[in-house]
């Protein structure tokens, strides 16, 4: 019996392949990439080729997406678990808070958090967070609400099943049922939610970096395009824009195929 | 109607929450005045920021709103904004958003129809690839590609282009939802019955299927409106449109903290208005929403 749907396998292979390619080409062998790049040098940075900057940027964007997606999924999972454990009016109040956070647009809130974080860093109170850490923290603080809602709903559905009722009837407490019975059934869904957060985090980071608000070093894909957008407009930048765009699209395609296939696959209540 | 008011009340709570949270976040920021700091501000400017935010004054958090109400300039330089300018810039962004909304609905209906037709054919994979292409394309990329041709032409062309590039992802997102909903409804018994009684497929679609599909569209209009407004920020920046998005980005870049507080709260209020409009539309067009609450 197939455990992982074919679409999810394809999506995961695409994601891992892009990650490996960006690591090998952008970080391990940048000289080889520089000498073989068919797109030539970047118009605003004559010492670097378009391929070096695009693959280097992909590596940074992917790293930000993985860390921020993972952290926001974890926070969402914790909030959902707490909400289900406390139940009643507290759960409803928690969900109202989750909805309020969810209603705010990611890009706007990340911009405000970046402004706050950078002001703290300039005053020497960064708490050890560099630009990378600050971006991951901002994205996680914005992105946990969606996963929290999804996990809470999935937990509520799973709790209605017979095996949970049996476990409770045998004296299983809330945390025991959650850890032993619900978590194994929730794991594939958690992976799907994480994969669905990945492109959102990458695109939000790209947009905020494009505005020049985030100080990502080395440059992510968004910052790479954002630092030279005036030159791209006036000198025509399709040669520069298209590779970065293609990499972003492939990244999103991989993550969304894997996420959709995993969340649609039959749920096993083990 | 009571449930609409309840939802509105829940949404309205968001506005003072955002206002207070953004105010205190900005008021707590340490504005460095040391000369060695990379992005320091002068002591005069820091004092001006504090005056602007009313820090240390009783009911200081109302200070930015008081200044706006009196018609004074908010912010510490020419990059600040008065109430009238804020309203003008906001109306510009809302105008771009309103242009983008019908474009998004056109994309949505077109994509939903094509996707339903593709579903079992050789083009089925495109049903996955097109949304990934649309979602994987940040608004600034098509804006960058279009900008050389339109940025200096004027005559509303940059506004139209901004609306076009902003509408792509929300349109495809809505199209995916409508397509799924359309497929579910088309497989139901009442459609077979209507066709079996001799109604034309177009009539069945218009009279029976679409009224059941449209509530799914309304559910998504709220998030889509947020995406349209947030997406217009990037389009405005690239296409040089001096509207609300441009104001917000410049306020953040130049640490115009009072402008950030006011603009963030204004944006939250706008989302509440959109949400209210969606709920009223749903109440008017979807009888199930009235029956369920009666």
pTM reported for the whole predicted model = 0.83
Q: What is the pLDDT of residue B75?
A: 73
pLDDT for residue B294 is more than 60: no
- Model confidence at B248, in pLDDT bands (50, 70, 90)? confident
Decide if B5 touches A, using CB distance below 8 A.
Answer: no
Phi, then psi, of B28 in degrees rounded to 5 = -85, -10
Closest CA to B167 of B93, B95, B105: B105
pLDDT of residue A266: 52
A245 touches chain B (CB under 8 A): yes
What are B201-242's pLDDT values in tens digits? 889 988 888 888 877 777 777 778 777 877 888 888 888 888
Residues of chain B with CATH 1.10.3720.10: 92-255
What mean pLDDT do residues B12-37 have?
A: 72
Chain A, residues 103-162, CB within 8 A of chain B, namely: 103-108, 111-112, 114-116, 118-120, 122-123, 125
Rg (chain B; Cα; Å): 23
Gap from A251 CA to chain B (nearest CA, Å): 8
- ipTM, two decimals: 0.78
- For an interface test with B, the pick among A112, A113, A240 (most B C-beta atoms closer than 10 Å) comes out as A112
Interface residue A210 vs chain B (CB under 8 A): yes
Q: What one-character DSSP code corresponds to residue A161?
A: S
Q: What is the pLDDT of residue A41?
A: 80
Pick the CATH number of B92-255 from 3.90.700.10, 1.10.3720.10, 3.30.70.920, 3.90.1660.10: 1.10.3720.10
Which residues in B lie closer than 8 A to residue A238 (C-beta atoms)?
Answer: 145
Query: What length does chain A have?
Result: 270
The angle formed by the CA atoms of residues B233, B234 and B238, to the nearest 5 degrees, is: 120
Question: What torsion, rounded to 10 degrees, do the Cα atoms B23, B29, B35, B38 define?
Answer: -100
pLDDT value of position B64: 81
- The domain locations on chain A are 6-264
Give the confidence band of B292 by pLDDT, cuts at 50, 70, 90: low
Which residue is it, tokens 């940027």?
A57
A96 contact residues in B (CB cutoff 8 A)? 10
Q: What is the pLDDT of residue A231?
A: 67
Show residues of chain A in contact with B17, CB under 8 Å.
100
Most confident segment among A9-23, B2-16, B40-54: A9-23
pLDDT (tens, 9 = 90+) of chain A, 270 residues, equals: 456 677 778 888 888 898 888 888 777 777 777 777 887 788 777 788 888 888 888 888 889 999 999 999 999 999 999 999 888 888 888 888 888 788 778 888 898 888 888 888 877 777 777 888 999 999 999 999 989 988 998 898 888 888 888 988 888 888 888 888 888 888 888 888 888 888 888 888 888 888 888 877 778 888 887 777 766 666 666 777 788 888 888 888 888 878 777 766 554 443
Mean of pLDDT over chain B: 80
Chain A nearest C-alpha distance from B201 (Å): 31
Chain A contact probe: residue of B7, B46, B127, B135 with most A CBs at under 10 A: B135
Q: Is the pLDDT of residue B35 over 60?
A: no
Q: Tell me which residue has tokens 């129809």.
A: B113
Which residues in chain A have Cβ-Cβ distances shorter than 8 Å to B252? 111-112, 114-115, 211, 213
Chain A residues with CB-CB distance to B6 below 8 A: none
**pLDDT confidence bin for B7, thresholds 50/70/90:** confident
Contacts of A161 (CB under 8 A, 6+ apart): A269
Residue at token pair 């990059």? B79
- Cβ separation A248–B136 shorter than 8 A: yes
Q: Kindly identify which residue of chain B lies nearest to residue A249, measuring between CA atoms.
A: B136
Segment A190-194 long-range contacts (CB within 8 Å, at least 24 positions apart) = A190/A73, A190/A77, A190/A151, A191/A262, A192/A258, A192/A259, A192/A260, A192/A262, A192/A263, A193/A73, A193/A76, A193/A147, A193/A150, A193/A151, A193/A259, A193/A263, A194/A69, A194/A70, A194/A73, A194/A147
CB A26, CB A220: distance < 8 Å: no
Given an 8 Å threshold on Cβ–Cβ distance, is A241 in contact with B144?
yes
A213 in contact with chain B, both atoms CB, cutoff 8 A = yes
Most distant pair of Cα atoms in chain B: their distance: 83
What residues of A are in contact with residue B267 (Cβ under 8 Å)?
105, 108
Report the SS3 class of residue B74: strand
Q: What is the pLDDT of residue A67?
A: 94
Q: Which pLDDT band holds residue B36 (cuts at 50, 70, 90)?
A: very low
pLDDT digits (tens, 9 = 90+) for B59-109: 777 878 888 888 888 776 666 778 888 888 889 988 888 889 889 888 888
The most confident of the ranges A151-155, A259-263, B120-124, B278-282 is A151-155
Which of A96, A105, A207 has the CB atom closest to B10's CB atom? Answer: A96
Q: What is the pLDDT of residues B146-171, one digit of tens each?
A: 888 887 777 788 899 999 999 988 88
Q: What class is the A6-264 domain? A: mainly alpha
Of B22, B144, B255, which has the smallest distance from its Cβ to A237's Cβ?
Answer: B144
């Amino acid at each position: 019996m197939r455990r992982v749907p074919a679409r999810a396998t394809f999506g995961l292979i695409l994601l891992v392949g892009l990650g490996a390619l960006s690591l090998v080409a952008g970080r391990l062998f940048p000289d080889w990439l520089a000498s073989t790049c068919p797109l030539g040098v970047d118009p605003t940075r004559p010492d670097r080729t378009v391929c070096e900057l695009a693959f280097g940027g992909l590596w940074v964007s992917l790293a930000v997406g993985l860390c921020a997606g993972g952290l926001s999924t974890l926070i969402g999972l914790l909030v959902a678990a707490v909400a289900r454990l406390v139940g009643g009016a507290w759960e409803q109040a928690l969900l109202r808070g989750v909805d309020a956070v969810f209603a705010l647009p990611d890009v706007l809130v990340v911009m405000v958090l970046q402004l706050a974080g950078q002001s703290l860093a300039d005053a020497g109170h960064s708490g050890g967070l560099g630009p990378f850490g600050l971006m991951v923290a901002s994205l996680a603080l914005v992105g946990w609400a969606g996963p929290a809602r999804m996990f809470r709903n999935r937990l509520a559905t799973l709790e209605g099943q017979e095996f949970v009722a049996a476990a409770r009837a045998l004296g299983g407490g809330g945390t025991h049922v959650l850890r032993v019975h619900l978590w194994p059934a929730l794991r594939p869904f958690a992976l799907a939610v994480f994969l669905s957060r990945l492109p959102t985090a990458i695109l939000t980071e790209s947009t905020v970096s494009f505005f020049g608000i985030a100080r990502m070093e080395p440059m992510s894909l968004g910052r790479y395009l954002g630092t030279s957008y005036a030159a791209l407009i006036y000198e025509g930048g399709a040669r520069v824009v298209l590779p970065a765009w293609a990499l972003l699209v492939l990244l999103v395609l991989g993550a969304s195929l894997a996420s959709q296939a995993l969340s649609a696959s039959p749920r096993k209540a083990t | 109607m009571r449930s609409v008011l309840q939802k509105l009340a829940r949404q309205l709570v968001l506005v003072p929450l955002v206002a207070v949270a953004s105010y205190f976040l900005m008021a707590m920021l340490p504005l460095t005045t040391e000369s060695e700091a990379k992005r320091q501000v002068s002591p005069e400017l820091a004092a001006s920021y504090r005056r602007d935010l009313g820090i240390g004054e009783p009911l200081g958090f109302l200070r930015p709103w008081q200044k706006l109400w009196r018609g004074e300039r908010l912010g510490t330089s020419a990059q600040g904004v008065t109430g009238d300018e804020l309203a003008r810039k906001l109306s510009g962004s809302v105008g771009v958003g309103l242009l983008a909304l019908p474009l998004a609905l056109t994309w949505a209906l077109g994509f939903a129809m094509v996707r339903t037709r593709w579903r079992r054919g050789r083009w089925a994979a495109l049903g996955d690839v097109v949304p990934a292409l649309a979602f994987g394309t940040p608004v600034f990329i098509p804006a960058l590609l279009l900008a050389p041709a339109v940025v200096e032409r004027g005559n509303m062309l940059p506004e139209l282009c901004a609306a076009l590039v902003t509408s792509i992802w929300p349109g495809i997102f809505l199209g995916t939802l409508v397509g799924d909903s359309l497929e579910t409804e088309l497989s139901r018994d009442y459609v077979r019955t209507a066709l079996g009684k001799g109604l034309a497929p177009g009539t069945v679609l218009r009279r029976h299927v679409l009224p059941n599909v449209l509530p799914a569209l309304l559910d998504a209009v709220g998030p889509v409106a947020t995406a349209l407004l947030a997406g217009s920020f990037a389009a405005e920046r690239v296409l040089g449109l001096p509207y609300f998005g441009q104001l917000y980005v410049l306020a953040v870049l130049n640490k115009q903290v009072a402008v950030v507080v006011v603009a963030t709260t204004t944006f939250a209020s706008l989302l509440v208005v959109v949400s209210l409009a969606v709920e009223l539309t749903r109440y008017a067009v979807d009888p199930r929403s009235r029956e369920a609450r009666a």
